[in-house]
Amino acid sequence: MSDEITISELAKLMKVSVHQIRYFEEKGVLAPAYIAENQYRMYGVDEIYRLSHILLLRKMGLSVQMIKECLSNLTTVQITSLFRQALADTEAAITQLQQTKHLISKLLHEQEHIPLEDQVTYYIDTREEIHLSLWFHMEAQEYLQARQLIQLKENIPNLFEADIHYAYDETDTVGIYTQKEGANDLVLPRGKYLSRHVYVQIEAELKEHINEFYAYAEHQGYPYHGPLIMVEKSYLSLFTPEKLHYELLLQMID
């Protein structure tokens, strides 16, 4: 019995497909030890080690062409540099996955704790301090337009993953903010807030909801101060595709 193994045996040993091994051979990074008289491609220990190195480098994200260079021409210093870059790329990918996990967890948590669409629910809860960074100002009677997003897109990353805060005060303008650690353009202090979630098909409906919100606070005799805060949670609209989701907030005076 031969000391070498066939391509199918090599594939089973390394837990890859025969097709993948043939692909590496076609690209010139792997070759059989010899081809037997029966045309079987035979592989020894050297080829097993070679294939294990190829698979390791592929797992690190290197292209087949780069693997060929790495195994043939690169110096130890150059290979070390490649490994460091692969490590940096892997850490960046892990960070991206962690951010995606956080976003999904946040979305599911918020969806589970908001009132149903047909429920008109007011509640008071205690919130931690939030630091907001100013994006821009617009007239109170205006609505966000696509052209504004294009003009201001550099000022905010991951636009529709963020909570957009609209701050209405006694002037005719509204400030548009996003949460940013350390920012001081607007700080919502820790304390009790009156809250209501609303769903709208068109933004023009918001004025009626805002008026109802103020009327409820007045009717209940709730003292409040500071601007009305409207938080647009565009990602929650995934659950109600035809409607936008907002939360209205007023800071209460203890």
* Closest to 61 (Cα-Cα) out of 36, 90, 40, 34: 90
The pLDDT-based confidence of 187 (bands split at 50, 70, 90) is: very high
Percent of the chain at pLDDT exceeding 90: 51
Architecture of the domain delimited by 5-73: Orthogonal Bundle (1.10)
Residues 7-36: b if buried by 16+ CB within 10 A, e if exposed:
beebbeebebeeebbeebeeeebbebbeee
Q: Would you say the pTM of this structure is higher than 0.75?
A: no
pLDDT by residue (tens digit) across 125-173? 999 999 999 888 887 666 666 555 656 666 665 666 778 899 988 777 8
Residue type present at position 176: I
Q: How is the chain split into domains, by residue range?
A: 5-73, 79-113, 122-252
Q: Which CATH number fits domain 122-252: 3.20.80.10, 3.90.1150.10, 1.10.10.10, 3.40.50.980?
A: 3.20.80.10
Report whether 168 contacts 209 (CB < 8 A). no
Tokens of 73: 């021409």
- Kindly tell me if the per-residue pLDDT of 117 is higher than 80: no
Tokens of 218: 């007045």
Query: What does pLDDT average to over the chain?
Result: 87
Give the angle subtended at the CA of 173 by the CAs of 172 and 174, to the nearest 5°.
Answer: 135
Q: pLDDT higher for 120 or 39? A: 39
pLDDT by residue (tens digit) across 207-218? 899 999 999 999
pLDDT by residue (tens digit) across 49-61? 999 999 999 998 8
What integer pLDDT is reported at residue 121 of this predicted model?
86
- Kindly tell me if the per-residue pLDDT of 76 is higher than 60: yes
Residue type present at position 25: E
- Phi first, then psi: give them for residue 18, nearest 5 degrees: -60, -40
What integer pLDDT is reported at residue 218 of this predicted model?
94
- Kindly tell me if the per-residue pLDDT of 240 is higher than 90: no
- Alpha-carbon gap, residue 188 to 131, rounded angstroms: 7
- Kindly tell me if the per-residue pLDDT of 16 is higher than 70: yes
The pLDDT-based confidence of 254 (bands split at 50, 70, 90) is: confident
DSSP codes of every residue in 86-135: HHHHHHHHHHHHHHHHHHHHHHHHHHHHSPPTT---EEEEEE--EEEEEE
